[in-house]
Amino acid sequence: MTDHPIRPFASDAAARRVTHGLLDRSLPKEEWTHEAHLAACLTLLREHPEIVPERDLPAIISGYNLAVGGENTDSAGYHETLTQLYARGVRAFAETLPADLPLVDAVNALLASPIAPRDWPLCFYTRERLFSIEARRGWVEPDLAAIG
């Protein structure tokens, strides 16, 4: 489904490093990959109960983007619909995992799951709707399939 191979994490520490780097804005921009997004979301769910991804990721990611020299515009940076879709997907996936599964195994299971491919959102959205300014600025409902 995607032409980008998923790169697994080597250790719990690697997943935590990405998450902490996002939170304290020290993660190098080039390390803020698709896999890092997913790993950080799962790590937040498992290890940071004070953070609610659906509520808190918009400010966390937007602030991180600015801190590393990026921007949050109508064509770049933070994307609300993608963030909320993946937050929902990662949360649903996390609920299927044993609580005692090591973090790296949980992250790598997520990265091997059907929601990991970069084009997973296109199961629910047309490209035009997903990459619209409206979808970047706020949540938009899918136009292809319901999110289950």
Residue range 103-129, pLDDT digits in tens: 999 999 999 999 999 999 999 999 999
pTM: 0.94
Quote the pLDDT of residue 2: 46
Residue range 73-89, pLDDT digits in tens: 999 999 999 999 999 99
d(CA 121, CA 83): 10
What percent of the chain is modeled with pLDDT above 70?
98
Exposure string for 12-34, b = 16+ CB within 10 A, e = fewer: bebbbbbbebbbeeebeeeebeb
Taking the chain, what is the end-to-end CA distance rounded to the nearest angstrom? 19
Instruction: Determine which helix (DSSP H) or strand (DSSP E) holds 66, and give its type and residue range.
Output: helix 53-67
Residue 1 has pLDDT above 60, yes or no: no
Quote the pLDDT of residue 5: 82
4 band by pLDDT with thresholds 50, 70 and 90:
confident
3 band by pLDDT with thresholds 50, 70 and 90:
low
d(CA 147, CA 113): 16
- Averaged confidence pLDDT in the chain: 96
